[in-house]
Amino acid sequence: MSFIEVAKTTEIPNGQMKSFSTAGKEILVTNYEGNYFAIDAKCTHMGGKLINGKLEGKIVTCPVHGARFDVTTGVSVSGPKLGPIKLKAKNLAIYEVKVDNKIIAININE
């Protein structure tokens, strides 16, 4: 296990997200109802930056083709839409999060 500290809890208020580059990965950390979750920050379809997408509740929508992911599980809840064509997107990797003394740390070895 290798937890890396990425932010203070005050930097990511409820309903907000922030992305970090660490250990060669881009990770999106979200505060959903006071709990913190970490998933890959790049869409599994074509690498869209989810930090530029829209977060509604626990669902983030990719800004490129609209794939939607549950930020608490990384699960793809709907795929990209290319015109009339609906595709499927793979789930995002999810990382264990630890909050200690108001510091958010992510286990990047999962």
Residue 43, both tokens: 């869409």
Candidate segments 6-14, 24-32, 44-52, 70-78, binder of ligand FES by CB under 6 A: 44-52
| Contact status: 65 vs ligand FES (CB under 6 A) | yes
- Give the separation between CA 17 and CA 109, rounded to whole angstroms: 21
Residue 75 CB burial class (10 angstroms; 0-12, 13-18, ≥19): middle
Closer to ligand FES by CB, 17 or 104: give it. Answer: 17
| Contact status: 62 vs ligand FES (CB under 6 A) | yes
| Contact status: 55 vs ligand FES (CB under 6 A) | no
The residue type of 18 is K
- Side by side, the strands of the sheet bearing 68-70 are 54-56, 59-61, 68-70, 76-78
The residue type of 30 is T
| Contact status: 80 vs ligand FES (CB under 6 A) | yes
Candidate segments 20-28, 30-38, 42-50, 69-77, binder of ligand FES by CB under 6 A: 42-50
| Contact status: 64 vs ligand FES (CB under 6 A) | yes
Residues that bind ligand FES (CB under 6 A): 43, 45-48, 62, 64-67, 80
